[in-house]
Amino acid sequence: MKRLSLGQILSVTYLVTIVLSGSVKGQSTETFNSIRFEDPSSIGSFITLNPPSGISPYALTLPSSLSAGTWVMRFNGATGTATWGQLFSTVGSDKQIAFFKGTDSLKSSSSFTYDDAAVQLVLSNTGTLTATDTVFRLINSATSSTASVGKVGLHISSTGTLSGTGTTNVGLIVDAQGAATNYAALFTSGSVGIGTSTPNTMLDVVEDVAYRELNYTTTLSATSNDLEFNTGNKASYVRIGTQTGAFTINGLGGGYTGKILTIYNASGKTMILKHESTGSAAANRIVNSTTSSLYIDDKGSVTLVYSGTDSRWIVTATMGALGMTPTQTTKTVTTTDKTLPSSDNNYIRVTNNSGTITPTFEDGSYIGQILVIQNDGPNSLTILDTTNVEINGGTVTLGAKDVVTLVWNGTKWYQIAAESNN
């Protein structure tokens, strides 16, 4: 009989692997019906191998020694041969999902796991990238010529009743951050339907759409160039809260093709949008169809759309904008505070207790704006030609109760009348 050493393994393809421990004895060559392996120390304990009927003769040479690992005997039905070889090499840890590595290795990774307790499949990549990487790719390239056949690349279903208080059911969460530019999703072709399975446009939304309000409460300067309510003006609806005085917007940052921005004036003051103001960068300027600046009353609003072709914010709708609504105010001038608030008023009554003062003027808000200046005294006002003022004869002096009327032509205030009431 031939003895097999401890740990040798005999495996029959498809059926069973036999682990032979201790010393066993095989039958002599005179026994042809079967081969029986018996433990000498336990008479009657044996394993019998029976050949199938009609088998072709072949010889199996047992190896003289075996290296570490699990060895099997492989039968090849096509060639009628049997050989010794190792089982697949397996490398992995608990909860990891196995995959083939080469032709004879089965391994797993901590990046691909299944938690049977949490019923959760996790595919992750925490390594260092040296090139663009895709963690998960789903490809459905099936074809068909059958009528009315459809296919779905990915179907997410999150159903089942959550009857507890305050429960939430989310079908998909996408969190994209960490790069210079982050896209939560890219739809390179096809229409998107929200609330409908048959979208008729690139984006088809059933029921309502809401833009979150940005409540802007920062105090604005009297004039703002390239204004951003937050970084990049990332808002579609901005409410401007209480302000200390009238304010002018010469331009808006954050423009890109097709962006829509609605500004609601809840400041209690006048909001002026300058037309093509050179105070702002060219790409941030505002264009109004009347080619004049817009005066937006308190509780009024304006909607703008950014044109990438023109590189301008285009006024498309207004509420509470009447060019310049006639307004009046008072102003006490001094030698250090002598600029008249002419941008958003039509009638200014000036008090002067500081000797003869030469006032300066803000630019007008729109072409044709009329401005009346009345000097309530007691001291005189002298108005001179300046970069934005044109006076008949170059100067006019207003005593107490005297009045001068000017009109804005887009670049200067021109005198059209002066009246002495002394």
Domain CATH code at residue 257: 2.60.120
Tally of domains in the chain = 4
Shared domain check, 309 and 219: yes
Q: Where is the domain boundary, 268, 303, 321?
A: 321
Shared domain check, 356 and 335: yes
pTM here? 0.59
Instruction: Give the end-to-end CA distance of the chain in Å, rounded to a whole number.
Output: 144
Shared domain check, 61 and 30: yes
Q: Does the residue 2 lie in any domain?
A: no
**Residue numbers of the domain that contains 363:** 328-419
**φ, ψ of residue 364 in degrees (nearest 5):** -75, 170
Shared domain check, 337 and 384: yes
Shared domain check, 302 and 252: yes
Q: Which of 294, 361, 286 is nearest to 325 (CA)?
A: 294
Q: Does the residue 50 lie in any domain?
A: yes
Q: Does the residue 245 lie in any domain?
A: yes
Shared domain check, 316 and 287: yes
State how far the alpha carbon of 202 is from the alpha carbons of 174, 186, 188, 261, 305, in Å. Answer: 21, 13, 11, 21, 19
As a whole number of angstroms, the distance between CA 129 and CA 324 comes to 59
Residue 52 neighbours by CB under 8 Å, 6+ apart? none
pLDDT tens, position by position, for the chain (422 residues)?
444 333 333 333 333 344 444 444 444 545 556 777 777 777 777 777 777 776 666 666 677 777 776 777 777 777 767 777 776 667 788 899 988 887 767 888 888 999 999 889 999 888 888 888 888 899 999 999 999 999 999 999 999 999 999 999 999 999 999 999 999 999 999 999 999 999 999 999 999 999 899 999 999 999 999 999 999 999 999 999 999 888 999 999 999 999 999 999 999 888 989 999 999 999 999 998 877 778 888 899 999 999 999 999 999 999 877 555 567 888 998 989 999 998 878 899 999 999 989 999 998 877 788 999 999 999 999 999 999 999 999 999 999 999 999 998 889 999 999 988 77
